[in-house]
């Protein structure tokens, strides 16, 4: 399995960053793959794909990093995702507690 490393500052905005499966979607070429996260240097803004998956992502590509959570039926009624929007130099520009319907972010 390949791994993706990313800045610890980005990880701190999301619960359970370490030791959880992530899906990566590359908006530039449509590649999709699963991996895990290795925390990188805090504040570096680095998001680096390692191993075989590195062939699927090039520097400058726009990617979506998906995390999953398992909840029971009752929790599912009130669960809201955390969406971290990342701007230039991989800095967090805003954090949403829901994703508006039919929105392209």
Q: What residues does each domain of the chain span?
A: 3-70
Query: Quick one: what percent of the chain has pLDDT higher than 90?
Result: 21
**Residue numbering of the annotated binding site for substrate:** 35, 51-53
pLDDT tens readout for residues 19-69: 678 899 999 999 999 988 877 788 888 888 888 999 999 988 988 888 888
Q: How far, in Å, CA of 82 to CA of 47, rounded?
A: 19
- Residues annotated as catalytic (active site), given as ranges: 36
Question: For the residues 70-93, what does the mean pLDDT come to?
Answer: 88
pTM of the model: 0.72
The strand pairing partners of 38, in sequence order, are 5
Question: What is the total residue count of the chain?
Answer: 105
Q: What is the pLDDT of residue 50?
A: 85
Q: Which of 104, 85, 88 is nearest to 96 (CA)?
A: 85
**Residue numbering of the annotated binding site:** 35, 51-53
Q: What is 3-70's CATH topology?
A: Barwin-like endoglucanases (2.40.40)
Q: 10 Å Cβ neighbour count for 49?
A: 22
Query: Under 8 Å CB-to-CB from 104, ≥6 apart: which residues?
Result: none
């Amino acid at each position: 399995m390949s791994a993706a490393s990313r800045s610890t500052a980005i990880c701190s905005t999301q619960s359970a960053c370490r030791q959880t499966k992530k899906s990566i979607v590359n908006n530039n070429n449509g590649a999709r793959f699963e991996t895990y996260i290795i925390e990188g240097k805090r504040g570096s803004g680095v998001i680096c794909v390692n191993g075989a998956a590195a062939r699927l992502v090039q520097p400058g590509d726009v990617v979506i990093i998906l995390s999953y959570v398992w909840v029971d039926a009752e929790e599912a009624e009130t669960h809201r995702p955390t969406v971290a929007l990342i701007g230039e130099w991989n800095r967090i520009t805003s954090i949403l507690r829901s994703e508006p319907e039919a929105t392209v972010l």
